Amino acid sequence: MEKISLYLVPTPIGNLGDITLRALEILKSVDVILAEDTRTSGILLKHYNISKPLQSFHVFNEHKALQSIIQKLKQGETLALVSDAGTPAISDPGFLLVRECLKNNLTIECLPGPTAFVPALVKSGFPTDRFVFEGFLPHKKGRQTALKQLANEERTIILYESPHRLLKTLEQIQNLFGAERLVSVSRELTKVHEETCTGTVSEVFVHFSKKEVKGEIVLVIKGNDKRKPEEEV
């Protein structure tokens, strides 16, 4: 079997039980763990009794760190990349490193594991046969345009959203997609205060207007799908 140089290892998005046996084995076996936040990952690794050198790898140093990491891998070291939560490279650092590894004929492996958008999509009850993951919308410039472009999207749409922008986004969806468009908001997945609220965008807006919105959020929007419910798969 080909030697794996870099493993991308998904970590829990809340519930510490959500890590695979293979993820733990890999984290125990590598030379160095690249971590988005060495403190956050340090706490996680301590919980699983894993003691490994950690190296910081985040959005602010990933360009700069790339070549020295590639050199280490070329010298035969095996590295794992973890992010603060979920799957690395999904709205988190990782893509640049994967691309650079492939350019240098270094073999990578991405373990399957936790990521926030899959449970949110499945829990929405909206069609899962075709969906589009948009990650975070631009915060200011281009936000309205990005949403406008999605208004006629037929596939189920998935967005990552911050709690303090949720109501504004729901309001924009009401205006651009119509108040009857179905949406599903999953908050704090796998955690104590996990909640999924599904309904028309106006109903969901009212629900979240009642108190301050807190925690981590995935917003799922039903596509502008002309299929009748019995035709949906």
Q: Given the complex with ligand SAM, which of 62 and 216 has the nearer CB atom?
A: 216
Is 90 a residue that touches ligand SAM (CB under 6 A)? yes
Is 186 a residue that touches ligand SAM (CB under 6 A)? yes
Distance CA 129, CA 233 (A): 6
**In whole angstroms, how close is the CB of 162 to ligand SAM at the nearest point?**
6
Cα–Cα distances (Å) from 205 to 9, 87, 92, 117, in that order, read 35, 29, 28, 20
Is 218 a residue that touches ligand SAM (CB under 6 A)? yes
Q: In what order do the strands lie in the sheet with 32-35?
A: 54-56, 32-35, 79-82, 6-8, 108-110
Contacts of 144-150 with C-beta under 8 Å, sequence gap 24+, read: 144/172, 144/176, 147/172, 147/173, 147/176, 148/176, 150/221
Q: Taking a C-beta distance cutoff of 8 angstroms, is the pair 110, 5 a contact?
A: no
Per the document, the length of the chain is: 233
Is 169 a residue that touches ligand SAM (CB under 6 A)? no
**In whole angstroms, how close is the CB of 25 to ligand SAM at the nearest point?**
20
**In whole angstroms, how close is the CB of 228 to ligand SAM at the nearest point?**
31
Pairing of the two strands 32-35 and 182-187:
unpaired
Q: Which residue is nearest to ligand SAM (CB)?
A: 86
Site string (188-217) toward ligand SAM, x via CB under 6 A: xxxx------------------------xx
Q: Indicate which single residue of 41, 87, 124, 184 sits in contact with ligand SAM (rule: CB under 6 A).
A: 87
Cα dihedral across residues 134, 62, 113, 188: positive or negative = negative
Q: Given the complex with ligand SAM, which of 77 and 109 has the nearer CB atom?
A: 109
Is 127 a residue that touches ligand SAM (CB under 6 A)? no
| Interface with ligand SAM (CB under 6 A) | 13-14, 83, 85-87, 90-92, 115-117, 160-162, 186, 188-191, 216-218
